[in-house]
Amino acid sequence: MTLRPALVVEADGGSRGNPGVAGYGALVRDARTGELLAERAAPLGKASNNVAEYTGLVAGLQAVLDLGLADDATIEVRMDSKLVVEQMSGRWKIKHEDMRRLAMQARRLVDAIQQRGGSVELTWVPRAKNGAADALSNVAMDGETVVRDHVRPASEGSTAETVSEQDDDQASVDPWSLLEIDEDEPDQPADALRPTFGDGRVPLSDVYVSDETVPTLEGQTRLILVRHGVTDFTQRHLLDGRGGADPALNATGMAQARAAAVAVRRLVERSQPGPLVVVSSSLQRARQTGQAIADHLGVAREEDRDWDEQGFGEWDGRAMGDLVRDHGDELLRLRTDPDFAPPGGETRRELDARVGEALARAIGRGGTVVVATHRVVLMSVLGRLLGVDSGRAWSIATAPASLTAIEVWPDGGAQVAFVNDTHHLYDPAFGDVEERPANVTIVDASRD
């Protein structure tokens, strides 16, 4: 059996000043032997880090196509830009028009590779593991251009042939040929035609794209809020508040907690160093979720009752369907009236007050604070930060074992980085557990 060709593209870019003097670097290797097949680098004038990183991606993919290496090949693109990897994978939105154009350009190259039977996968790697591409980008920022091919372009129906030295004519290759050019535009001078970013016509030296704050959590304080895993009450849609039955996680919930722990660890590893604290509410399901996270991170778990779920009083343990039937009007008030409480329960205003105090304590600690808590508590925090009233906050989804992240900056500004992230519950790398809800794969991350 003939193995499919396997390639690795390493790409990077940088800007000294952001925006400032910028350049990109990219290289192509044989994934099995590590043999270096191609190198690309070029200065970009004044540009942002994001522009340089995207251009490195484009250059690496274009090199694969130019050398005829795409046919039936599996290609892994490795970058230390979380922004580019997540945007190209479709998990993060692309807010800026210039970034959308660059992403479209890269996707067209991916399409071209796929049309030749190849496949492309983007992987985030730490900066320390992307040193070769980083070195090339620094060469480019120093003003040098590198276009080195260590194999000859494959002819029709043949494989690439190794060459010992660069052909003389390769040294004269214009690095802008790696980018899309529209030379038929009559109103643009030659220099302005080079980097057109898809259907746009913006000279690269004039591009300024401010960096987006991405979920690497770089604020002064980073809050990672984790909803607890499922209990039997959760799966039966029973109300379960402060002062109620306080059930434990079931087998599925424990697997969810372990998967969430792995996801939290990965997020923490990508964030700025600093103090790390894990806090949970006093309710058993949150304590167990928080303990799984704390154990995985190698820290102690703290407990704070102000992160407890809302108290539902006499409604605790009742099924939502029964409450709709028997107390429809009152149930609506629970969602919309901050001063309504079920008999013996807690009003939303009371919950908001104690959660606000817990939030202020967490922010005041600095570093990274992981909190294992509950759905209405999450709605309270997000409603407070986003200016959403208690009624509308019920529209915010926060699934069991989901992650929500918040950054707080030195000037007191806060930003919700992401909400309801559950990708870790569907990662086949961790395997499955035996007990799971129908049609949902819940992963067991204990082997990570």
Give yes or no: 309 in active site. Answer: yes
Number of neighbouring beta carbons within 10 Å of residue 155: 10
Q: Which of 10, 39, 150, 228 is catalytic?
A: 228
285 annotated to a ligand binding site: yes
Q: Which of 39, 309, 346, 407 is catalytic?
A: 309
Residue 373 and residue 289: Cα distance in Å, rounded? Answer: 9
Q: Give just the sign of the alpha carbon dihedral 51, 53, 55, 58.
A: negative
Rg (CA), the chain: 26
| Residues labelled catalytic | 228, 309
Binding residues for substrate: 285
Binding residues: 285
